[in-house]
Structure 1
């Protein structure tokens, strides 16, 4: 079952924020390999993009849990 737009809209700020933070810290770890560190603005912009599929996947998981809780 697909999640509703209302659920996606409610979860998206959290998903985008989490992905932005994860992207920033991943770039810090990547600096050990000689890669450049992303600025916080670049990480936030990347989080907005990467947050879309992550939020959709998490919302699908929430819908499955809600359905499981409703079934006896």
Structure 2
């Protein structure tokens, strides 16, 4: 078993806008659900800003997943 490759900046840059958007939406809806427990509700702008931050590790994880799929496809 070889060590996994690191994702290229090109791949990360291509995935990041989608990951940041998805994380922003997820954060906003999680805050709405959290309001049932008495937590503060985030504004859409706060959720978007949080998505920009949370989108970074999500981008890295998804890019690594894409690389594993590419390596598996090349091996078959």
From 58, 61, 64, give the equivalent of 1:57. 61
| CA–CA separation in structure 2 for the residues paired with 1:65 and 1:12 | 18
Q: Normalising by structure 2, what TM-score?
A: 0.93
Following superposition, which runs of at least 4 residues in structure 1 exceed 6 angstroms of deviation?
A: none
Q: Normalising by structure 1, what TM-score?
A: 0.98
Q: CA deviation at 1:36?
A: 1.0
In structure 2, the partner of 1:71 is 75
User: Structure 2 regions of 5+ residues with no counterpart?
Assistant: none
User: Structure 1 regions of 5+ residues with no counterpart?
Assistant: none
Q: CA RMSD in A?
A: 0.5
